[in-house]
Amino acid sequence: MNYTPMFKRYLTKFALRLIVFLVVLFIYITQYDHFLNIIQGPIAFGVSPYHIFWICLMGIMFFHLFPTKTQTTAMRKRLAETYKEQPGFNREKLQAYIKEKNRGAIRVLIAWLLFNALWVVLFFNGIIGAKEIILITSFYFCSDFICYLFYCPFGLIIMDSKCCVNCRIYDWGHFMMFSVSWMMFDFFGVTLTLMGIAVLLRWEYTVAKHPEYMWEGSNRILQCRNCQDQTCQAKKRVVSYLPRFLHPYRSYPRPKKAAKQ
């Protein structure tokens, strides 16, 4: 399998995020009583791992608000300069497509909020605390790229998304990632949540104003034959081996084994 430069970049980012989560999990398990002191304690000049993590995440979200040419097509499709109109596309089909995907997006939002309501209830009943909120956020931070590269329950079960490049809710990741960070009740946790919401709203503004950017029937850059990213390569392989209830609307043929010599 020939991996594209974008796919390799995403694999590298996933590896880095996985390392961050595993380090946080290791500290949580082995140094539970001192977890917050280690994460939030100063390393030098009053700067802690918590501060570094915040700076990196805010920087990532800044570039989601203002995408560059080095970023994935899935993100840049909301830009006018990226849009490649499909001549003579059917506007009625576009409206029907967006209406269907909007319904799916609402279902995802409700499901996500209901799921995270569990953490809110546990937190305000004193069953979990700031340590667990940091652990959950770091897990979401890693899971974001699991959805991109390997398996996305939202896209495959709820949204019926063809791929990330065509996904209606592609840039919801940071809103979802920091859904519980506000419960840290500090400047860093609250601002991460607010910035995630800002990225979400910026995305939704484009969907509402330029729905033609979001459909492969109206935007040629989203069509498979024009895709330069090919970040779906591993996901298609993984999904082809999963039971049908995990991908009720889409299936991919299993790769053929090479013939023995």
What does the H/E/C string look like for 22-87?
HHHHHHHHHCHHHHHHHHHCCCECCECHHHHHHHHHHHHHHHHHCCCCCCCHHHHCCCCCCCCECC
Would you say residue 258 lies in a domain?
no
With residues binned 3-state (H G I as helix, E B as strand, rest as coil), the percentages for the chain, rounded to 5, are 65, 0, 30
Cβ neighbours for 228, distance < 8 A, ≥ 6 positions apart: 4, 6, 73
Would you say residue 251 lies in a domain?
no
Tell me which range, 63-67, 80-84, 113-117, 226-230, is most confidently predicted by mean pLDDT: 113-117
Q: Taking 60 as the threshold, does the pLDDT of residue 259 lie above it?
A: no
Residue 210 structural domain: 5-246
Q: Which of 104-113, 137-146, 244-253 has the lowest mean pLDDT?
A: 244-253
Would you say residue 260 lies in a domain?
no
Per-residue model confidence (pLDDT) at position 1: 59
pTM, two decimal places: 0.92
Per-residue model confidence (pLDDT) at position 70: 84
Would you say residue 261 lies in a domain?
no
Q: What is the pLDDT of residues 69-104, one digit of tens each?
A: 888 999 999 999 999 999 999 999 999 999 999 999
Give the count of domains, the chain.
1
Would you say residue 28 lies in a domain?
yes
Would you say residue 93 lies in a domain?
yes
What is the end-to-end Cα distance of the chain in Å, rounded? 19
Would you say residue 103 lies in a domain?
yes
Report angle CA 252, 107, 221 to the nearest 5 degrees: 50
Q: Taking 70 as the threshold, does the pLDDT of residue 138 lie above it?
A: yes
Residue 46 confidence class, pLDDT cut points 50, 70, 90: confident
Q: Is 229 helix (H, G, I), strand (E, B) or coil?
A: coil
Q: Which of 13-27, 40-54, 113-127, 187-201 has the lowest mean pLDDT?
A: 40-54
E strand segments, the chain:
none
Would you say residue 259 lies in a domain?
no
What's the mean pLDDT in 13-27? Answer: 96
Give the CA distances from residue 213 to residues 6, 74, 87, 171, 227, in Å, rounded to whole numbers and listed in that order.
Answer: 21, 10, 13, 14, 15
